[in-house]
Amino acid sequence: MAKLRVGVVSPEREIWSGEADMVIAKTIDGEIGIMPKHAPVLGVLVEGGVLTVKRGGGETDLVAAVHGGFLSVADDEVSILAELAELGSEVDVAAAKDALARAQASIEANQEDADAAVEAKRARARLRAAGEEVG
């Protein structure tokens, strides 16, 4: 079976690279699933999205919180160029829950707090990537 070559990078580091059966990401146009032989595409990733890389062969799916950036697909190669990304396995769940609580409190105190809204999206994405239930 054909595989995708996938690379996930941020300005700080290479997050992950390897082969996969499918990549699922959230773009500004909606969620997109990429499989081998997909048509070329360029997408803008949303702030506070979750990226899932289905590796197949009994391997655990790779899940990451992705905060903005781009997705590019060409010739069975998927490049994720994220402004900020964190693997679910690297998420400090307690810190993410604390960040979400602080952001929600700030939003309740000031409905037009755009920074708090972004922080809440990021915290929710981090928690989802770590496998936590988020309301």
Torsion, Cα 100 128 46 5, to 10 degrees, reads 150
HSE (CB half, 13 Å, CA atoms) of 33?
4
- CB–CB of 29/43 below 8 Å? yes
Q: What is the pLDDT of residues 57-78, one digit of tens each?
A: 889 999 999 999 999 999 999 9
Task: Give the C-alpha separation, 79 to 71, whole Å.
Answer: 6
At 51 the pLDDT is: 97
* Averaged pLDDT, 40-52: 96
108 — pLDDT class (breaks 50, 70, 90): confident
**b/e burial code for range 18-32 (CB count within 10 A of at least 16 → b):** eebbbbbbbbeeeeb
* Averaged pLDDT, 122-130: 94
Unique residue bearing structure tokens 């992705």:
66
Token readout for 57 is 């062969």
How many CB atoms lie under 10 A from the CB of residue 60? 8
Task: Give the C-alpha separation, 50 to 10, whole Å.
Answer: 14
Structural domain boundaries in the chain:
4-87, 93-130
On whether the 4-87 domain is CATH 2.60.15.10, my answer is yes
Residue 111 in this model has a pLDDT that exceeds 90:
no
DSSP class per residue in 26-61: EETTEEEEE-TTPPPEEEEEPTTEEEEEE--TTPPP
pTM of model > 0.85: yes
Token readout for 68 is 């903005």
